[in-house]
Amino acid sequence: MDIRSSLSIHTTVPSDPEKAESFNPPECTREFIITSNKSLHSEADVVIFQYVNLKGVALPTKRYPGVPWVLALQESSINTRPLPKSFNGVFNFTWSLRGDSEVHHNFDQMYPRLEKRDEKWIYGKTKLNLQRGLCPTVEWNLANVEDLFRNWKLDSFGGCSHKSCVRNESCFSNLGKEYKFYMALENSLCVDYITEKPSHGWVHNMVPIIYALGNKTMLSPPNSYVDALEFKTMKGLADRIKFLANNPKEYFKYFEWKSVYDLKTPFASSYHCYAFREIRKVTELIRRKE
């Protein structure tokens, strides 16, 4: 039984325009009808419940046959409280960052491959002698990081810094023209908790320094990042970064994948379009078993 290409999101779509658009990406509007209109439950193929909006929300009193309910979680387990027992057995499957969820992201399947290899990207970056640091986690004490990169220009952006950067593509694009590295530091070391942070580096020609647990090879382009957890000491990591910054030939090896993958689509749109397609596949499997 083929399902209609419509997804009904039960909880409220974010009020922020940029976040709201990621839930209804223009790149896949021809494939899906995505709505938060609860009156359309009877016409939907899938109902997605966002974990962050479940508190105080009354679940629909009626469930329609063959319409699975999906629980969507995008935060780390440290920042996710267990749901009340009343939710046990309510959802058919989950969509999260964990690899053991029925739906989770996979870089190789999220982005299309270029029909013809592109070699022009390598000539567009002219200022390669700076580094960039984001607001560190508890383990990444800013003073320690600055000490390791003494005599280097290390800029920090975010709520814990005197510099700000509005989180949009224009801001990251400007940073990518100037900085070599992007510290993609997750706020929690939890299984498979790797968010969109590294993608800001990939899209805008900065090498991400990833501080996170999980299967990074599945969630990243090949040879595209520096894994902070591979180093026994912070000094070892700093030495590696300094080596790459001073050796352009080695540094540019981290961008060879850009001649293969097409990253024109923003990460949020690619991620949601891919997730919706995977949800459709799982839904089709569920219906075949019924």
* pLDDT block averages, 10 residues each, the chain of length 290: 49 50 72 78 84 76 86 84 85 91 88 68 40 45 60 61 60 78 83 86 88 86 92 86 87 88 81 90 84
Among 54, 134, 129, smallest CA distance to 94 is for 54
CB 93, CB 230: distance < 8 Å: no
Specify the 3-state DSSP secondary structure of 217: helix
What pLDDT score does 20 carry?
Answer: 53
What pLDDT score does 147 carry?
Answer: 62
What pLDDT score does 69 carry?
Answer: 92
What pLDDT score does 254 carry?
Answer: 92
Among 168, 157, 205, 165, smallest CA distance to 22 is for 168
What pLDDT score does 289 carry?
Answer: 78
What pLDDT score does 163 carry?
Answer: 60
Specify the 3-state DSSP secondary structure of 209: strand
Specify the pTM: 0.77
d(CA 282, CA 50): 18
What pLDDT score does 252 carry?
Answer: 87
d(CA 106, CA 214): 12
DSSP one-letter code for 134: E
What pLDDT score does 230 carry?
Answer: 92
What pLDDT score does 165 carry?
Answer: 62
Burial of 163 from C-beta contacts in 10 A (0-12 / 13-18 / 19+): exposed
